[in-house]
Amino acid sequence: MITGSMVALATPMKTDGAIDWEALRRYVGWHLEHGTDAIVAAGTTGEPTTMSFAEHFDVIRTVVEEVNGRVPVIAGTGANATAEAVELARYAREVGADYCLSVTPYYNRPTQEGLYQHFSAVASACDLPVIMYNVPSRTGVDLYNETTLRLAEVDNIIGLKDATGNLERAEDLIERLRGYDFALYSGDDPTSCEFMLAGGHGAISVSANVAPRSMHELCTAAVGGDHDRAHQINTRLMPLHSVLGIEANPIPVKWALNHMGLIDRGIRLPLTWLSEKYQPTVAEALQLAGVIEQ
């Protein structure tokens, strides 16, 4: 089981929207130097929904190659067609990813039984361990706790990324899964500290893109039950957690990474560059979090 800070990696792009492969390799190396515990390639923050199949495959392959076994790689393989999710998972397995992250099928709005059948099919079609991903604010469908408990019994489904931000619901799931070999990860940075202190195993984080060392330290403290240290770090990071959602992810975090000199000014339509009125707010949050000098 992975524990700690797992970065939901942004995909560097050039100003024309082309993937910047050289920058992607450098950026992965930067994370390895700064304490990131695992890397999610082509997750939501990586913009896979605007990529061709070939690009999606190549992002996963490139990250796996650059990591070279130093930390686990979690491949974003979710799709709203079950057959497509299976194909992506099989490819990730072929190129050496350690886990796959599979989002609830968006737009289709399946029933709970449909979600159970979808994830069961992905898990049975490929031996790559599956981490489910529930983010109803984006997908329009919610994976209920009762369905998660059913799926926790399915071979090869080993965890859940919960991006609901609902701590009461997370605490219920954590309690009901005690004793299971099943990982529970926060996918909501503003509530991730309390999620982990309640018994969660780590965070799949947007903030980790720009503050990898601090997110690693926060996750280590919180998973280890060091409340004082975790709250101290989280207080410093909270302005960053908040502003990275000021426009749709990954708009703010890509602006922040460009501001830090790590990536070019590239993002793909229908997403656009961060509005000028928000740029000073994000820059101030980077300063308050200690990411850049004041």
The pLDDT, as a whole number, for residue 160 is: 98
**Domain extents for the chain?**
4-225
8 Å CB contact between 92 and 62: no
Q: Does pLDDT of 292 surpass 90?
A: no
8 Å CB contact between 38 and 74: yes
Cα atoms in the 13 Å half-sphere on the side-chain side of 279: 11
- Classify domain 4-225 by CATH number: 3.20.20.70
The pLDDT, as a whole number, for residue 3 is: 97
Q: Does pLDDT of 132 surpass 90?
A: yes
The pLDDT, as a whole number, for residue 177 is: 96
Q: What is the pLDDT of residues 71-110, one digit of tens each?
A: 999 999 999 999 999 999 999 999 999 999 999 999 999 9
The pLDDT, as a whole number, for residue 155 is: 95
Average pLDDT over residues 214-218: 98
Q: Please check if 204 is assigned to a binding site.
A: yes
The pLDDT, as a whole number, for residue 90 is: 97
The pLDDT, as a whole number, for residue 42 is: 98
Q: Does pLDDT of 166 surpass 80?
A: yes
Cβ neighbours of residue 148 closer than 8 Å, sequence gap 6 or more:
132, 134, 160, 173
Alpha helix ranges (H) inside the chain:
21-33, 53-67, 82-95, 112-125, 136-139, 145-151, 167-176, 189-197, 212-223, 227-243, 251-259, 279-288
State the pLDDT confidence band at 294, using cuts at 50, 70 and 90.
low
Active site residues: 133, 161
When comparing pLDDT for 279 and 292, which is higher? 279
Q: How many residues in the chain?
A: 294
State the pLDDT confidence band at 179, using cuts at 50, 70 and 90.
confident
Mean pLDDT (the chain) is: 97
Q: Please check if 15 is assigned to a binding site.
A: no
Share of the chain above pLDDT 70, in %: 100
